Amino acid sequence: MKLSGLAAPKGRRGWTARWTARGARAGVAAGVAVVTGLVTGLAAAGAVAATAFAAGRASDRAAAPHPALLTGEYWTQLAPAAKQAYLTGFLAGAAAEQVRAHAAAAGNEADSAAVSSGAVAALRAERALHFRFAPPVYSAQVDDFYWWKNHVAVPIVDAMIHINREMLTQQATDAP
């Protein structure tokens, strides 16, 4: 049996120009054995890698701090756009929680209007939000806070509470 395209260049030794039917079967059998071995080896390696990945992911979840406990180490690694996104989410969450707390204190937790974006807008219009400044204002303040290396271990939430308190105090004392 001659396989097309397998003709050896003239003058070359080491492999034949023609395969016999028996040689072709032996070659195919050897090739199947090699491929089977590779697939089995890759499957085993894949299983080991998948197990290691799953174990690594489980340990990452166990070792990763809760988002509310992220520190200055995390903050200093963020790009400016990511800092703005983080602070926008933080401010939205803080406003939603403030509105929920007001509704709970008034006994209106079940009233959807009491815990809606309209309620947040009303607090904002009254300048009654606890975190009332824009994300870029907080971003600059947090960057300054974490410039001090001894502050890097402080959670971002605690830094925001401290910074916000300072800005509100300054705003109240500077008021005419």
What is the DSSP code string of 102-130? HHHHTT-TT-TTTTSHHHHHHHHHTT--S
Is there a single domain that holds both residue 58 and residue 80?
A: no
What integer is the mean pLDDT of 18-34?
Answer: 45
Instruction: Categorise residue 6: left if φ over 0, alpha if ψ from -120 to 50, beta otherwise.
Output: alpha
Identify the burial level of 113 via C-beta atoms within 10 angstroms of its C-beta, where 0-12 means exposed, 13-18 middle and 19 or more buried: exposed
Query: What's the pLDDT at 162?
Result: 96
Question: Lowest mean pLDDT: which of 63-67, 92-96, 168-172?
Answer: 63-67
| Percentage, residues of the chain above pLDDT 70 | 64
Domain limits for position 149: 67-173
Is there a single domain that holds both residue 51 and residue 83?
A: no
What integer is the mean pLDDT of 152-169?
Answer: 95
Query: Is the pLDDT at 58 greater than 70, yes or no?
Result: no
Query: Is the pLDDT at 60 greater than 80, yes or no?
Result: no
Per the structure, how many domains does the chain have? 2
What pTM, to 2 d.p., does this model score? 0.61
The residue from 64, 86, 109 where one domain ends is 64
Query: What's the pLDDT at 114?
Result: 79
Question: Lowest mean pLDDT: which of 14-28, 50-64, 75-89, 101-115?
Answer: 14-28
**Average pLDDT of the chain?**
75
